[in-house]
């Protein structure tokens, strides 16, 4: 079986990815890396005979080179990243080190050890924002226009990957996913934060009127799309990933309150700490769907699964 190295498996998306890939018996052996910034991350790690986990920092050249020499992965999925926009506004340097330097270190190792392919996991935030509901969705050829240090660092990572392809022949794919939600997501994100507030009877803080529109994708659908790219992705292509389910933040909050049967009285409008959040994200997914992928979870189904998981795993909120 192919050996795949995944970075960032202590995080939300790739802790779910490992579980899905192993459970569905995809024909890969996995090795993975996470620097475990907080000990609570260890609750995410999924140990299995088909998965070997290493503690380490992707920006540590010696560690990464040693790991590549020892394990000799066939394919690399680079998902490790600092991903909080608010945190990036407070300390952009952390994001440059992890998301740009870390990507360069991974790319260098991929070139040195001649991996078959690198899949770089990016974000739809590299496109910037759409200013109205009538603007067309972004395609993979839309210009990059990042508006904060986080999205700028992810866009820079994309350029590092593409430059290595031109300079050294590195084969790659890039994924740009919309907002993910689901089990094991950290409580600074909208959906788990709202569920936690309802459970603990604390204010649900809404920036402004909560009219910011996002394109919501259940995390296992994103994982399924990456697996499709692993199997059928065309060389050196970029793929948008989304379930194409746009909804404003306030609508998402209200739907969660409806599902939990309470919480509407906790909704509290506050001043946007960033001054102005991006208004709308929306991506065209024709390209990924041409590979045979399609989302399995509607937004109502995904929200039900999400609410049920957090209600049944209250320990998560003690992270």
Determine whether 135 is an active site residue.
Answer: no
In this structure, are residues 81 and 135 in contact, taking their beta carbons and an 8 Å threshold?
Answer: no
- Reduce the DSSP state of residue 25 to 3 states and report it: coil
Pairing outcome for strands 28-34 and 2-7: parallel
In this structure, are residues 47 and 19 in contact, taking their beta carbons and an 8 Å threshold?
Answer: no
Determine whether 235 is an active site residue.
Answer: no
Task: Name the active-site residue from 120, 150, 207, 281.
Answer: 150
Q: What are phi and psi of 70, to 5 degrees?
A: -75, -45
Determine whether 124 is an active site residue.
Answer: yes
Task: Name the active-site residue from 125, 215, 246, 278.
Answer: 125
Tell the residue number behind the tokens 């990572």, with chain if given. 157
Structure tokens given for 54: 């290493």
Task: Name the active-site residue from 34, 57, 82, 124.
Answer: 124
Give catalytic residues, as residue numbers: 124-125, 150
């Amino acid at each position: 079986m192919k050996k795949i190295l995944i970075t960032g498996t202590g995080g939300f998306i790739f802790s779910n990815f490992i579980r899905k890939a192993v459970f569905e018996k995809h024909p890969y052996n996995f090795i993975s890396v996470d620097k475990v910034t907080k000990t609570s991350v260890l609750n995410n790690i999924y140990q299995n005979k088909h998965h070997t986990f290493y503690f380490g920092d992707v920006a540590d050249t010696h560690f990464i080179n040693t790991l590549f020499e020892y394990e000799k992965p066939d394919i690399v999925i680079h998902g490790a990243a600092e991903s909080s926009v608010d945190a990036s506004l407070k300390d952009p340097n952390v994001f440059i080190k992890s998301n740009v330097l870390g990507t360069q270190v991974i790319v260098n190792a991929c070139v040195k050890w001649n991996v078959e392919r690198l899949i770089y996991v990016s974000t739809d935030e590299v496109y910037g924002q759409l200013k109205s509901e009538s603007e067309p969705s972004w395609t993979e050829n839309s210009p990059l226009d990042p508006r904060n240090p986080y999205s700028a660092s992810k866009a820079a990572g994309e350029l590092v990957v593409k430059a290595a392809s031109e300079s050294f022949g590195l084969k790659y794919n890039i994924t740009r996913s919309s907002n993910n939600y689901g089990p094991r997501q950290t409580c600074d994100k909208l959906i788990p934060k709202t569920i936690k507030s309802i459970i603990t009877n604390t204010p649900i803080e809404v920036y402004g009127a909560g009219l910011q529109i996002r394109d919501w994708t259940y995390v296992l659908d994103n994982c399924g799309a990456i697996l499709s790219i692993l199997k059928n992705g065309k060389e050196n292509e970029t793929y948008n990933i989304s379930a194409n389910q746009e909804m404003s933040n306030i609508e998402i909050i209200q739907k969660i309150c409806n599902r939990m049967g309470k919480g509407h009285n906790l909704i509290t409008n506050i001043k946007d700490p960033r001054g102005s959040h991006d208004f709308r994200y929306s991506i065209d997914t024709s390209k990924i769907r041409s590979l045979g992928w399609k989302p399995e979870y509607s937004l109502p189904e995904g929200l039900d699964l999400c609410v049920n998981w957090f209600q049944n795993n209250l320990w998560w909120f003690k992270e």
